[in-house]
Structure 1
């Protein structure tokens, strides 16, 4: 495997030359025209190296981690019947209906019951379906070609954003010789992130994958949800390893979140840009509450372009940016934009913690699914060779959880064996 992509990523994020790294296994373990396994190996290697967790990466293990939900036993079904690709009068559109309120928005936008959606979509232009669903608060994406994405869409603007943007946002946090609250960088403790407290305000896949990776390297990750918000239990099963889970209603209990922020090292969130800032929890607000904090922000369609406020998910971004272009659409074999962005978020978090330790200040890390898509596009295409199936048995484990005993894929490079996922809201909203 060529390490040029990893070396470039490492240099861009850390400012340092790439340390020695060894890849084993074969890149040709996933179908499709994009180099998804290569991307997976790069993301896992960057995070593992940053966490001082070794210099060997198995490409097959990394690739399977990008579809970790498929290895859960009991199995998890991630898609509702209404979610999927629909032929339109001029092409295709994808509807995302895994959350009940998004399904309801689709039905309102199209003015038909669920069994009439396919026929109604076929009567309309793809962009018209997309715009009407978005206007109702739903999630949809018309299929675009690469050229349309770069000229008529936000692609050109998104390409100007760094893949992993790291900036110091406040200098009041004093330089600290520790990575976490108590532990020095690189130990002591079971892992490099022992003592690091992470507030995880993310949902779906990308953000939770990032939190899971940080937990696998020793961080104390507290996921913050709310009892009134819908949860996809299948994804909690996959991404909840190593985390505690509390409920907190921001509408009525902002002071409780402020109390948690005051004791946190990392604030990881995947709300749409500006949503938390409107509630008083923007990056600079957080730096004022807790000087020295690292704020990690994930978005779908970038942080600066014309679609920055647009609701999006991995499968929708694939449709929008030309990755899935075809008749019918040809999506990636895994939700690689989600998983890659999550792993890159973990890498960026560790890099920012180390910058804080040497330079002081509070830091912001920004990533987006769409920018990750551009990076994947730039990796080129894979050779047209037969796919070699990975024997995942060496990478599987069994762990007890609040949902029973689970068979699951181990997090590649993990320095500890994280506890199993916990039911949403079962823990108090406080640090240990």
Structure 2
């Protein structure tokens, strides 16, 4: 039956459709569909105002992660746990950084003052991302203007949108022109993405089968597994956080030379050790090598090729640690005309037609973002799911494995889920609807109010045993 939200009758998309979405990705990862019988999905779309199926995307990606953890647990302990995911809860977890509160205060600011959308001289729109100081300064240098929103808007009137995007890309800045869905479909990089898997899992080296850790190594699905997390912002850190929620020992490796967004460190740091290593030094490389010797999973979000010069490309890591599961996360993937191009969720939405499609759905000509960073969050859960799928294949087939995820391919997957005709009739969730999914935990930053994990296992509910702390709090050494 339809359900009532705020007095409006909304069409409910059956949960079975989300299960079908899960089935396609689960089977593509080389896993047995029998496990899907243990999935319990509740709720229906729309749960956030959007013409895209962000609720189904959230529910499916989080449920895949939970189911993979439960399947590893079945292999190691014989338990067959039920995995339950409510769609509203999942969608709110896709907004987790917006719902974070520190010591009960106001929501932290997530954006630099000049970040956002601007109209260029040809009437077309661009989005610029300036949360990192070097990206902001690079954009201002191209525009030859001061750090002021009105000055940036005036300077962009001298540019065409595509011309500015091209110039910014050439100088390694992060800018995107808004394209229509039709323009993106005709773009040569879209054709490359269409030929790729949403979650690519490839055997890249030989090694004997490595069983999942035995039950004696801990009482949780991923107890005994060690994960190196060399990622920043939302997507990669979300994947590491999901693995930690099921018992993996996750060490976030930052660099004293790389900027971070403090709010996102707080939000995605739960359950992790947090260390610094300077990979531009011999000591930093040696430190990472020592950690690699006892790691099962290596997650990295450097620009494609960024770790090769430092000696930690996938082939290099697999040669030094046979049996490793290496996960690469990027904006647009490694191949094609935009392979290696820098980007973030908001920019990929703009470049690939998503913002234009949302704008058309509400009758606007300005870019309209999704109601959450859906590409980031879904990609983050795909990172965790892909890593666990590769671990299960490693146990069965042996070998070293390379998992590849890109925000742009995740965005294409979201479009493939279809659209909601009346998605914008859905109101924003009320405080009363959100409150049951929030909790408060101590951290190295104060008391954090945050969203609980939506992927619930029946016998080993997810939890984070370590508080979020500043990167560099821990030494880069695995605990005994």
Say whether the fold is shared (TM-score over 0.5).
yes
Q: 2:50 aligns to what?
A: 32
In structure 1, what is the Cα distance between the partners aligned to 2:113 and 2:127? 13
- Aligned equivalent of 2:138, options 91, 105, 115: 105
Superposition pairs for residues 118-267 of structure 1, below 5 Å?
A: 118-171=153-206, 173-177=207-211, 179=212, 183-184=213-214, 189-252=218-281, 253-267=284-298
Corresponding residue SS for 1:277: coil
- Aligned equivalent of 1:80, options 112, 115, 132: 112
**TM-score normalised by structure 2 residue count:** 0.86
Superposition pairs for residues 303-322 of structure 1, below 5 Å?
A: 303-322=334-353
In structure 2, what is the Cα distance between the partners aligned to 1:54 and 1:392? 24
| 8 Å Cα contact 2:94-2:374 kept in structure 1 | yes
In structure 2, what is the Cα distance between the partners aligned to 1:86 and 1:170? 47
| 8 Å Cα contact 2:217-2:224 kept in structure 1 | no
Q: 1:55 aligns to what?
A: 83
Residue-by-residue CA offset, 1:90-139 (whole Å, 9 max, x unaligned): 30000000000000000011111123110111221001111222233321
| 8 Å Cα contact 2:203-2:401 kept in structure 1 | yes
Corresponding residue SS for 1:23: strand
Q: 1:22 aligns to what?
A: 40
| 8 Å Cα contact 2:332-2:409 kept in structure 1 | yes
In structure 2, what is the Cα distance between the partners aligned to 1:399 and 1:283? 36
Q: 1:7 aligns to what?
A: 23
Q: 2:449 aligns to what?
A: 407
Residue-by-residue CA offset, 1:280-327 (whole Å, 9 max, x unaligned): 111111111111100000010122111111110000000110001141
In structure 1, what is the Cα distance between the partners aligned to 2:157 and 2:32? 52
| 8 Å Cα contact 1:51-1:193 kept in structure 2 | yes
Paired positions, count: 426
In structure 2, what is the Cα distance between the partners aligned to 1:259 and 1:194? 21
In structure 1, what is the Cα distance between the partners aligned to 2:349 and 2:188? 13
| 8 Å Cα contact 2:246-2:463 kept in structure 1 | no
| 8 Å Cα contact 1:294-1:364 kept in structure 2 | yes
In structure 1, what is the Cα distance between the partners aligned to 2:95 and 2:440? 17
Corresponding residue SS for 2:92: helix
Moved more, 392-401 or 102-111: 392-401
Cα distance, 1:188 vs. partner?
6.0
Verify: 1:295 aligned to 2:323, yes or no. Answer: no
**TM-score normalised by structure 1 residue count:** 0.95
Q: 2:128 aligns to what?
A: 95
In structure 1, what is the Cα distance between the partners aligned to 2:257 and 2:327? 24
Verify: 1:426 aligned to 2:473, yes or no. Answer: yes
Corresponding residue SS for 1:380: coil
Corresponding residue SS for 1:249: coil
- Aligned equivalent of 2:439, options 391, 397, 410: 397
In structure 1, what is the Cα distance between the partners aligned to 2:411 and 2:216? 35
Corresponding residue SS for 1:117: helix
* Change over 3 Å in CA distance of 1:187–1:372 after alignment to 2: farther
In structure 1, what is the Cα distance between the partners aligned to 2:145 and 2:210? 59
| 8 Å Cα contact 1:318-1:373 kept in structure 2 | yes
| 8 Å Cα contact 1:86-1:122 kept in structure 2 | no
Corresponding residue SS for 1:392: helix
Gaps of 5+ in 1: none
In structure 1, what is the Cα distance between the partners aligned to 2:345 and 2:445? 26
In structure 2, what is the Cα distance between the partners aligned to 1:111 and 1:164? 41
Cα distance, 1:17 vs. partner?
1.5
Q: 1:387 aligns to what?
A: 426
In structure 2, what is the Cα distance between the partners aligned to 1:303 and 1:136? 19
| 8 Å Cα contact 1:54-1:413 kept in structure 2 | no
* Change over 3 Å in CA distance of 1:316–1:297 after alignment to 2: same
